[in-house]
Chains A and B, each alone.
Chain A
């Protein structure tokens, strides 16, 4: 059973940085792409970014491009979302999800970690 666990959320001031982690287990982490998706309080899902299984490809949503960076450490089965220049509208719960094909669906999801910019 695939499991993804996000961590690193918290309260941060506008303009500051935060790094989220996504630890994977129960599946071959190094073979899966990892997506980041966020959900502002009371709002819908917004796709944030994706990184390929080997870290060679990464793409970002318009609202975070140039501020957020995804990376991964396959030796530790962990992906990261580095968030810089945080704004109030980045306040959301951030989920990671895995995908066994880069251009495919988000198969398993973590429970998310809450980021509050205030």
Chain B
């Protein structure tokens, strides 16, 4: 069960913009929409972005995402200390029926 690839960590100072990449395959990201989840330290994950670029109500517009081909990316503009968390991309995988794959996760550190 191969997983989309994310950088293990990214960092930035308050106010900066950081980006997280998510590289998949034709059967997952290439064939399905991408969702992003944020997991604050010690907390459960929460939905951050769905259907490639849609924000649920309550998610600040500092968070944006896009998808192209077999890759996706998440950008955090105006980085804040409260954004320090783990971020995961996810997509359904058509290689076997009915399977979801998560990326390995990216730790965002605010310096």
Segment at the interface with B among A8-16, A24-32, A57-65, A77-85: A57-65
Among B50, B98, B102, B105, contact of A104 (Cβ-Cβ < 8 Å): B50
B92 surroundings in chain A (CB, below 8 A): 103
- Count chain A residues whose beta carbon lies closer than 8 angstroms to a beta carbon of B: 24
Cα distance A106–B45 when bound, in Å? 10
Indicate if A95 sits at the interface (CB-CB under 8 A).
Answer: yes
Question: When A109-B44, A112-B44 are in contact, do A59 and B1 touch as well, CB less than 8 Å?
Answer: no
| Most chain A CB neighbours (cut-off 10 Å) among B46, B90, B99 | B99
B32 surroundings in chain A (CB, below 8 A): 103
Cα distance A37–B105 when bound, in Å? 14
Interfacial residues of chain A within 102-118, with CB under 8 A of chain B in the complex: 103-112
B85 to chain A, nearest CB (A): 13
B5 to chain A, nearest CB (A): 12
Question: When A47-B99, A47-B101, A59-B99 are in contact, do A107 and B88 touch as well, CB less than 8 Å?
Answer: no
30 inter-chain pairs at a CB distance below 8 angstroms, sorted by A residue, are: A35-B100, A37-B45, A44-B86, A44-B102, A44-B103, A44-B104, A45-B37, A45-B39, A45-B88, A45-B90, A46-B102, A47-B90, A47-B100, A50-B98, A57-B98, A59-B97, A59-B98, A61-B99, A62-B1, A62-B96, A63-B1, A105-B35, A105-B50, A106-B37, A106-B45, A107-B47, A107-B56, A109-B45, A109-B47, A112-B44
Which B residues are closer than 8 A to A by beta carbons?
Answer: 1, 32, 35, 37, 39, 44-47, 50-51, 56, 86, 88, 90, 92, 96-105
